[in-house]
């Protein structure tokens, strides 16, 4: 599975199920992610990856540097914490998706698509102030947090008012 995750908000920009993890698969995944994220006119992102064979290949290194003008950062060998967010995502995904048996690749792809949709749009992350990755990625976080704050204030005021009314009745 080749996945591109936005490091800031944990949003899965693009994923592909590949027959083999070679440099061509990574190039295709990165290209599609950049197109989906509409990053052509913005500052170029960095690719943080582990030290798997497809990520340290000279073919990928040349492609990223010369064609994409993108910097590649490798994590320390034997130190998966550097890629902690994507590692945690893959662990969560495997814990959910591997509960079922798939008899055809299309079934697996469909299950992965449903998982990614749920992960991006419905699964709240404590580290994102209980927002979904899509909320943060799409810039809705400020509006949502502001609304939550107002709901909290309104609820507390309503409780105070009810409490004070109960005190008056009991007198």
Tell me if the domain spanning 2-127 has CATH number 3.30.450.20.
no
Residue among 125, 157, 161, 119 nearest 144 (CA): 125
Closest to 96 measured CA to CA, from 122, 119, 121: 119
Contact 152, 159 (CB under 8 A): no
CA 110 – CA 107 distance, rounded (Å): 5
Domain range summary for the chain, segments of one domain joined by +: 2-127, 140-170
Q: What is the pTM of this model?
A: 0.84
- State pLDDT tens for residues 112-152: 999 999 999 999 999 999 999 999 999 999 999 999 999 99
Q: What percent of the chain has pLDDT over 90?
A: 74
């Amino acid at each position: 599975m080749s996945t591109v995750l936005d490091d800031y908000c944990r949003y899965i920009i693009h994923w592909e199920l590949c027959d083999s993890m070679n440099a061509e698969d990574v190039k295709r995944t990165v290209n599609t992610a950049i197109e989906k994220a509409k990053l052509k006119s913005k500052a170029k992102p960095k690719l943080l990856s582990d030290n798997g064979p497809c990520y340290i290949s000279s073919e990928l290194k040349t492609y990223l540097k010369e064609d994409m003008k993108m910097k590649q950062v490798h994590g320390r060998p034997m130190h998966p914490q550097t890629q902690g967010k994507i590692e945690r995502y893959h662990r969560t995904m495997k814990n959910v998706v591997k509960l079922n048996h798939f008899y055809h690749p299309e079934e697996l792809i469909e299950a992965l698509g449903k998982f990614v949709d749920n992960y991006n749009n419905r699964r709240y992350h404590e580290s994102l102030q209980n927002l979904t990755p899509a909320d943060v990625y799409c810039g809705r976080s400020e509006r949502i947090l502001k609304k939550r704050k107002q709901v909290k204030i309104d609820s507390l005021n309503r409780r105070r008012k009810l409490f004070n009314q109960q005190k008056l009745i009991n007198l």
